[in-house]
């Protein structure tokens, strides 16, 4: 990787204007790339955007620990929530049946998809030839399929139970009712390998590490919209001279704009976010709010940080602090694979492209 960086350092700004259209933006491009963001790491702006997630989780956790009301409220580790009675719950947002949870998060991927499709269709195309616009939309669709596939595998189905349920069982989790019924010789309960099936049968899904589906979905959906709406808006308006770098097939490191048909700042003077972009910002804001609510009211500190074997120790009431936000990590794996690996693997970039390029 050091040799790649040395090669990048030896590049001049003229290396970066691979397409003739890029000449117009040469000054800001040259400044941006003179900072040479390594292709395999987030750019400074991306670091700020992605850094919001751990900040929210840490802040929410600290808040839940220091708030006297939350500390005083009874918490049930099996349901992973405070008491649900409206008169006892520490907040409206501590209730699972709050309208934002039922209508927004529980259908979260539908909302994220809606915001993505709407913003993609509303994205200003300027003087870009229709064939280029179409190719961009197809590549954006391929990225949606990839991100949706990851969401689907983690939360819905993975050649049987989804990854969340499989990891719960790998870390020692079981359906308590199923255990009892198996002992009584009821073969049908052996099928209860998912949290949904277990809860539907009135069982208790307990004992393992439960990756937070809410944290996973909210982080993945937000990061996806940030990438898909943020980068095209940034390039079109040209309001921030920052650029992703990519590794070319000959090993050279160039600005991602070298592969674009259009110049940065084509729509300078226009608002960076039109109605489509603003809708996506709305969904992002609501997602971040709900992520904060999850961090404050759902999953205790121990659940958020538990690891294989932790549940056994928790039963022994020993305190364990291992920093491992698994919902966040699982979402990050998907985001890195779909938005960062293509920056340094040209073959993959040829299939999924980069947002806004």
Ligand X SMILES: CCCCC/C=C\C/C=C\C/C=C\C/C=C\CCCC(=O)SCCNC(=O)CCNC(=O)[C@H](O)C(C)(C)COP(=O)(O)O
Ligand Y SMILES: Nc1ncnc2c1ncn2[C@@H]1O[C@H](COP(=O)(O)O)[C@@H](OP(=O)(O)O)[C@H]1O
The stretch among 66-74, 212-220, 252-260, 318-326 that binds ligand Y (CB under 6 A) is 212-220
* Residue 284: CB minimum distance to ligand X, A: 15
Cα pseudo-dihedral 80, 217, 207, 56, rounded to 10: -60
144 binding ligand Y? (CB under 6 A): no
Cα 134 to chain centroid distance, Å, stands at 26
Q: What is the 3-state secondary structure (H, E, C) of 287-348?
A: HHHHHHHHHHHCCCHHHHHCCCCHHHHHHCCCCCCCCCCHHHHHHHHHHHHHHCHHHHCHHH
State the Cα–Cα distance between residues 209 and 165, nearest whole angstrom.
9
State the Cα–Cα distance between residues 276 and 153, nearest whole angstrom.
28
* Among residues 104, 298, 340, 344, the one that binds ligand Y under rule CB under 6 A: 298
Catalytic residue among 82, 83, 209, 214: 214
* Residue 22: CB minimum distance to ligand Y, A: 44
214 binding ligand Y? (CB under 6 A): yes
Interaction site with ligand X (CB under 6 A): 105-111, 113-114, 117, 155, 213-214, 217
Q: Name the binder of 114 from ligand X, ligand Y, none, CB < 5-8 A by kind.
A: ligand X
Q: Name the binder of 17 from ligand Y, ligand X, none, CB < 5-8 A by kind.
A: none
* Residue 52: CB minimum distance to ligand X, A: 19
* Among residues 77, 96, 169, 240, the one that binds ligand Y under rule CB under 6 A: 96
* Residue 225: CB minimum distance to ligand X, A: 13
57 binding ligand Y? (CB under 6 A): no
Catalytic residue among 82, 209, 240, 299: 299
* Residue 264: CB minimum distance to ligand Y, A: 38
156 binding ligand Y? (CB under 6 A): no
> In terms of Cα–Cα distance, which of 228, 217, 164, 167 is closest to 331?
217
174, β-bridge pairs: 206
Task: Yes or no: say if 210 and 303 are a contact pair by the CB < 8 Å rule.
Answer: yes
State the Cα–Cα distance between residues 347 and 324, nearest whole angstrom.
32
Residues 6 or more apart whose CB falls under 8 angstroms from that of 137 comprise: 120
290 binding ligand Y? (CB under 6 A): yes
Task: Yes or no: say if 221 and 327 are a contact pair by the CB < 8 Å rule.
Answer: no
Q: Name the binder of 349 from ligand X, ligand Y, none, CB < 5-8 A by kind.
A: none
* Among residues 43, 212, 279, 330, the one that binds ligand Y under rule CB under 6 A: 212
Q: Verify whether residue 214 is a known catalytic residue.
A: yes
Q: Sort 91 into a burial class: Cβ within 10 Å, 0-12 / 13-18 / 19+.
A: middle
The stretch among 18-26, 29-37, 213-221, 226-234 that binds ligand Y (CB under 6 A) is 213-221
Residue placing its CB nearer to ligand X in the complex, 265 or 276:
276
Q: Verify whether residue 299 is a known catalytic residue.
A: yes
At 264 the three-state DSSP class reads coil
Which residues of this protein are in contact with ligand Y, per CB under 6 A? 80-81, 96, 98, 101, 210, 212-215, 290, 293-294, 298-299
Active site residues: 214, 299
């Amino acid at each position: 990787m050091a040799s790649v960086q040395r090669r990048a350092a030896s590049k001049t700004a003229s290396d970066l204007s691979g397409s003739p259209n890029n000449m117009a933006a040469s000054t800001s491009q040259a400044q941006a790339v003179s900072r040479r963001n390594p292709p395999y790491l987030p750019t400074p702006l991306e670091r700020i955007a992605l850094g919001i997630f751990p900040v929210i989780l840490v802040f929410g956790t600290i808040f839940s620990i220091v708030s006297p009301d939350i500390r005083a409220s009874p918490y049930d580790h099996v349901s992973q929530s405070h008491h649900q009675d409206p008169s006892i719950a520490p907040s409206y947002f501590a209730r699972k049946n709050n309208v934002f949870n039922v209508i927004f998060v529980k259908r979260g991927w539908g909302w994220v998809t809606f915001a993505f499709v709407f913003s993609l269709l509303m994205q200003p195309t300027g003087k870009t030839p229709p064939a280029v616009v179409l190719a961009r939309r197809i590549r954006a669709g391929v990225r949606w399929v990839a991100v949706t596939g990851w969401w689907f595998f983690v939360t819905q189905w993975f050649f049987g139970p989804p990854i969340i349920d499989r990891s719960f069982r790998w870390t020692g989790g079981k359906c308590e009712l199923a255990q009892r019924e198996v002992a009584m010789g009821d073969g049908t309960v052996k099928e209860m390998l998912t949290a949904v099936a277990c809860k539907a049968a009135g069982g208790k899904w307990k004992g393992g590490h439960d990756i937070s589906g809410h944290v996973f979905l909210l982080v993945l959906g937000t990061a996806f919209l940030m990438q898909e709406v943020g980068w095209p808006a940034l390039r079109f308006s040209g309001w921030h001279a920052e650029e992703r770098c990519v590794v070319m097939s000959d090993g050279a490191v160039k600005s991602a704009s070298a592969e674009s048909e259009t110049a940065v700042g084509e729509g300078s003077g226009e608002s960076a976010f039109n109605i489509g972009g603003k809708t996506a910002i709305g969904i992002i804001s609501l997602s971040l709010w709900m992520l904060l609510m999850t961090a404050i009211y759902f999953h205790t500190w121990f659940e958020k940080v538990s690891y294989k074997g932790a549940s056994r120790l928790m039963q022994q009431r020993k305190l364990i602090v291992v920093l491992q936000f698994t919902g966040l990590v699982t979402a990050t794996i998907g985001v890195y694979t779909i938005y960062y690996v293509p920056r340094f693997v040209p073959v993959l970039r040829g299939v999924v492209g980069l947002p806004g390029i």
